[in-house]
Structure 1
């Protein structure tokens, strides 16, 4: 048996080091306890980071206190969680192929009907997104009702050509100036917006009348060129096909589809502007990088009876509640109802509290 060194009782004890304890390595558990405590006192074990199912060797009071804290935190988390946490993640529009026929079909995004109906309700009188500028000053509402049908169609086309990069309020003012101040093409003729006056007007005068709209210099050239094309190619009226409309300078697919729908009463596609493009991507309906991609994506699954109205619905939503900057998620029924995955949670929570106060 190994003999232990004699213990010295006189004088202060020397500093106990790991090396000095090594000589006791072959003794019982009682002498190895200091080493275990030293190792665990600096770095926490994973058991200390996760709730343990085994009771810890601490006082009863401490254990109860810690459990109470965990219970309270859990309750607080559940109470503050929005309805969105209980919803299944929205699936975007997706393509599938029938293995037997090879026919491709596009499945609509999940819960799109509830989201669409909620948006439509918000756009009704009294809703959070009611009374948008597009409702009274949108391009399809700017034609002079006293003008002839041919001139009304021309008004709609001109309004759309002026509308890009321009607010509806500004566009409406510019259109009103054209309808009242565009000089007559000949003596004793009526002033105002029609093809003959547009052909005759001096470019500088036209530019002055529309100076408030975005890119008015380019639009002045496009309007003059378009007037000549309408006279020479289309018999003095606007084209009644998408192909004919997009052949006009400054007219793209969005303007063409909106014009065909409003001027000729035929809806062959969806007019997708920046609001429709931005909001449908926020909703997770698709991941597209351009309005034209968004148009094709929407047309692949959205029922055709909604192709015309969706533009006005989402433009109005974007003008009132879901603006590009400073979205009012606390006022939006989509955010409050957990339907919008892009909603600002802080604004939504503040909006819920405000509604609770109003109900009280």
Structure 2
């Protein structure tokens, strides 16, 4: 265990636990960036497992990655449930060894199966800070909150007692995005019409089949209405759309490497409503039509509810999604500049662009105390 003088003289070591999915990793790395902005002498170490996306994402962002055993929580009675106590004990032991070796001063967890062993390994040894991104709290963060010095949440009523609502930490390229300043560059980058109202469509890194199947048949109608489309359909999916010569193009791409330019090019968004997606779309002030993924405990519908209530978004249940429904919703929206502007303002009013810096201050305050 390092002393207070060590922290002052050498800078704090912040360990973030947010592996598995991008929804856990990206807020953790946004916090890491904010900690370094506030304390350039700080060290940030990320915990992860071999099965998650962190093996590719974390080193590429310049942070140290330490692997620990995953501890997934079985949702049904299986043999894995019987093995859970042994797996937890093994993971705690290995995680404690990592925390000791890197000289951790605080553990910050973002939920998921990487966070649970981190919380249990730090309990009684190191201060813990918990951040919950979803509108419905997962099991790992419910456990971590019992031992946490500070608890933060993206939205009210997440289920964590005494949680401070701060939003979701976002990377600076999103929070500082000037959509108008980048608009011309973004339209050229994707070969979109320079002036036509443009719809951005995406369904996560893998795409969303139900969204693809509902949007693609409308390509010619979008074109005749003077609407351009940028559609990320997923690397494993294909998309054939009808182009009309002289009309704004419908641009299908497998994946969006430059989300900042995609947001800058768009006038509205059609997408799922994962917590990170809702936070980013709101932060940049884009009107949205959300189609929540109908799995789990329905948290995606809860994630976008504040934006819908504020007038910045429209929600369509996945089982109601169809070309007819999208024609009814999207064509009047994208051809009404005044409505687009009002929805964008309402969406941005629900965002929390400073969440990463707020959480970094919370974490560093805990270390100082």
TM-score normalised by the chain length of structure 1: 0.21
Report which of the two has the higher share of helix: 1
Report which of the two has the higher share of strand: 2
TM-score normalised by the chain length of structure 2: 0.21
Which structure has the larger Rg over C-alpha atoms? 1
